[in-house]
Chain A
């Protein structure tokens, strides 16, 4: 039904445009007063005004989006380095929004102010070294600041130092799902290669490697709060990307090689569910779901695939749970070790 409606609207729209075309054609034929360059002072006035109007519309819409859609953006970071990244984000965004708010009005404002008219003549002005130096210099200085701040943050994120030994977890990607492998009591992952994949040994773990035996393979990713986690990423077939947006983590999983990323989750799932932003978001989403007759949703962290990998790329996900240490230990005890699995 709605399809039909939209098609009708589209056809009507097309007809309307067709009519408008005719009217324009006729009216410009009647006027026939176009001068040589084809734009009149009146055109300049109208278009200048429209450009100014556009500026207000644009900024109005921008303000509306910032306010109205603030709630759809990701909630506060759930990891330590994520908080650093969020600070950098806020400051960089601040800088670019200011630049945006200065330059667009200049552009549209000048377009309006200096709209042409037959009696005026433009001012001849080729260049102005002082002015040019100024607007080369100012961005350069601001950028230097952003670069320094950005690089410091980056090196902090990528070369973490910790007092605590990180928990080693392998994240394994394949079309179209994820599995995790914990290093077990020795905190050492056993050797693995896709050539060894067979039957229940879906990750190709080498059973002859003694480090393998206590490894734990799971279909859900549990992490203890406040402990560094060192992720090792592998892929079985094509490139995937492990994206954990709530933790501000993203790393490609590349067949034939290993990548890694280390971070410290600092909010349990339960704590995150109580964050006011999250409570609010869940409420909105559940209203939407109720209206569609869908089951209510409870917030969970999630690992999603963020590198195009085939037909079900859009649905390649794994649930992530951040526990307290005790909860984590308890959960871990319930899991089978690789030796038991075999």
Chain B
């Protein structure tokens, strides 16, 4: 591989058009954080609306202008905020922000490579993502408002500008942005796959890969197989919107206008969308699970329990995730038999998921837990993964989904299992690898404060939503006041919004800690967590090519923590097997 070492670098090639995976990782992280601030900020705005629907909020007028006249939010802009919030959180923060950051940072470092297979493609991947972010954010400023048909943008609503203002220019920009995003994801994912397959250092067999790498690797495969399908869905939608085709449209009379489209099916779009959409939730989740495997094992000072079962369940989950998409469509009028098949496959996913949960818990058993902020977030992740996963058993069951489909029960479920787990994984990763990224440490106590407020607020926001759903409250409602039967939910909505505000404020602590520590934090040593994996054998100062001399050779798996007979409670992968180990075989 090209050890394109030590040529002179300018500011531009080092910080902007960098081809170094470590710098690209940081670019993804910071861009993701900025998008995260926008996405979370939006959720706070619509939480104000949901909790206090008749109150006039000066802040709404200030931020939303003509859409918040007199401090009252416009119903269309409510839907737009929900839509862009969902889009940003799912794709920009938890797909690009999470995978982009940690796959880039860790794949070369943990497998022992000097960089990604193609630094140039990697750079392109970031810049497509950046362009996509810019387009998405700029759609907030168009005259008719941003896309507002929900993050799933189902046609015909999303296809017809007559149906809602957000389906005009805003929707066009949404589609452009997502197309750029898909290109970025594909470029990134192809690079990750090739790198993991081809650039592992000597001795780094697939069965010696840290679980982080397994997770990133399988995630990349999922992305390569599913994003093109979303692309085709988007492409057909673009055709229907702009070129008069009828892929998704038939027999429509909207805003007094009879359309000529005939023969299309809006349900086709849903099949295409969810063929990506379901794997997408694992594209979000698996990297977080991989990160927490590494963080939990390192800080429990114990091997991750059941390494092979963990790899097996990642693969099983990934495989199953391609044959369950129909569980989002039980009430579209699909053939009931097909519904049964999707119920069956969906509930099967619970098995590998349960295996993972139990393996995490057993890893803690008789460990010597170092409760760092990263470790706390990983424990939080296991908790939310279990809580949210369990309600999946309800939603995956077609007969029960009739009750709660598209209600707040679903909002509770997916935020807990996917949103919170993945965000916690992201935070765990940032706290854990911050020393690798910036050569410094984040402030531990601020980390603790951040964790506790975030963790409690997160459950405080989303757990009560189960009850709203069981009261029959539909999601994507601008206000619940049109139905007296929901009047007794008002207090719950207020409570949720208080927790949301508290959770939002806690992120200020994190952001402050992040940027302050990046410049002023305490200097880190090379291996601050006494970890086994290869990234901690590189020097604290980043260099192009990662290792100053030869790339180290790997002699063992990454989880030899507290191994009997060893002096220290960790044995880095670069330490050759002792004779005794050779004899016993491990």
- A positions within 8 Å CB-CB of B: 2-3, 7, 10, 13-14, 17, 20-21, 24-25, 27-28, 34, 36-39, 43-44, 47-48, 50-51, 54, 57-58, 61-62, 65, 69, 71-74, 84-85, 88-89, 92-93, 95-96, 99-100, 103-104, 106-108, 110-111, 114-117, 120-128, 131-132, 135-136, 139-140, 143, 146-147, 150-151, 153-155, 157-159, 174-175, 193-195, 197, 204, 233, 236-239, 241, 243, 245-246, 248-252, 254-260, 281, 284-285, 288-289, 297, 299, 302, 304-315, 317
A309 nearest in chain B by CB position:
B157
A74 in contact with B398 given A54-B455, A285-B485, A311-B76 (CB within 8 Å): no
B463 contacts across to A, CB distance below 8 A: 61-62, 65
A85 in contact with B254 given A125-B305, A135-B354 (CB within 8 Å): no
A69 in contact with B149 given A122-B368, A155-B340, A310-B163 (CB within 8 Å): no
Within the complex, what minimum Cβ distance (angstroms) separates A275 from chain B?
A: 14
Interface size on B, as a range, is 35 or more
Within the complex, what minimum Cβ distance (angstroms) separates A195 from chain B?
A: 6
A47 in contact with B371 given A194-B252, A238-B157 (CB within 8 Å): yes
User: Are the CB atoms of A237 and B467 closer together than 8 Å?
Assistant: no
A127 in contact with B355 given A39-B444, A311-B76, A314-B479 (CB within 8 Å): no
A147 nearest in chain B by CB position:
B347
Within the complex, what minimum Cβ distance (angstroms) separates A143 from chain B?
A: 5
A248 to B403 CA separation, bound complex (whole angstroms)? 5
A139 in contact with B350 given A71-B488, A239-B157, A289-B487 (CB within 8 Å): yes
B339 contacts across to A, CB distance below 8 A: 154, 158
User: Are the CB atoms of B371 and A39 closer together than 8 Å?
Assistant: yes
A89 to B173 CA separation, bound complex (whole angstroms)? 42
Q: Residue B474 at the A interface, CB < 8 A?
A: yes
User: Are the CB atoms of A306 and B405 closer together than 8 Å?
Assistant: yes
Selected from A120, A249, A314, the residue in CB contact (under 8 A) with B402 is: A249
User: Are the CB atoms of B477 and A284 closer together than 8 Å?
Assistant: no
User: Are the CB atoms of A93 and B58 closer together than 8 Å?
Assistant: no
Selected from A122, A154, A174, the residue in CB contact (under 8 A) with B343 is: A154
User: Are the CB atoms of A254 and B305 closer together than 8 Å?
Assistant: no
Selected from B308, B354, B368, B376, the residue in CB contact (under 8 A) with A47 is: B376
B362 nearest in chain A by CB position:
A131
A123 to B478 CA separation, bound complex (whole angstroms)? 54
A122 in contact with B569 given A88-B397, A237-B254, A239-B157 (CB within 8 Å): yes
A259 contacts across to B, CB distance below 8 A: 332-333
Q: Residue B309 at the A interface, CB < 8 A?
A: yes
A250 in contact with B405 given A238-B156, A257-B265 (CB within 8 Å): yes
Selected from A96, A115, A159, A252, the residue in CB contact (under 8 A) with B333 is: A252
B364 nearest in chain A by CB position:
A110
User: Are the CB atoms of B368 and A116 closer together than 8 Å?
Assistant: yes
B298 nearest in chain A by CB position:
A37
A254 contacts across to B, CB distance below 8 A: 265-267, 332-333
A54 contacts across to B, CB distance below 8 A: 455-456
A73 to B467 CA separation, bound complex (whole angstroms)? 6
A34 to B59 CA separation, bound complex (whole angstroms)? 43
A308 contacts across to B, CB distance below 8 A: 79, 149-150, 154, 157, 476
A150 nearest in chain B by CB position:
B397
Q: Residue B12 at the A interface, CB < 8 A?
A: no
User: Are the CB atoms of A257 and B351 closer together than 8 Å?
Assistant: no
User: Are the CB atoms of B467 and A175 closer together than 8 Å?
Assistant: no
User: Are the CB atoms of A237 and B253 closer together than 8 Å?
Assistant: yes
A21 to B490 CA separation, bound complex (whole angstroms)? 35
User: Are the CB atoms of A302 and B369 closer together than 8 Å?
Assistant: no
A153 to B271 CA separation, bound complex (whole angstroms)? 25
Could you show 15 A-B contacts with beta carbons less than 8 Å apart? A72-B489, A73-B470, A84-B399, A85-B403, A104-B386, A110-B365, A124-B562, A139-B354, A143-B393, A194-B251, A237-B156, A257-B265, A297-B485, A310-B79, A313-B478
B154 contacts across to A, CB distance below 8 A: 239, 307-308
Within the complex, what minimum Cβ distance (angstroms) separates B269 from chain A?
A: 10
User: Are the CB atoms of A114 and B364 closer together than 8 Å?
Assistant: yes
A151 contacts across to B, CB distance below 8 A: 340, 343-344, 399
User: Are the CB atoms of B344 and A147 closer together than 8 Å?
Assistant: yes
A125 contacts across to B, CB distance below 8 A: 302-303, 305, 362, 365-366
User: Are the CB atoms of A256 and B264 closer together than 8 Å?
Assistant: yes
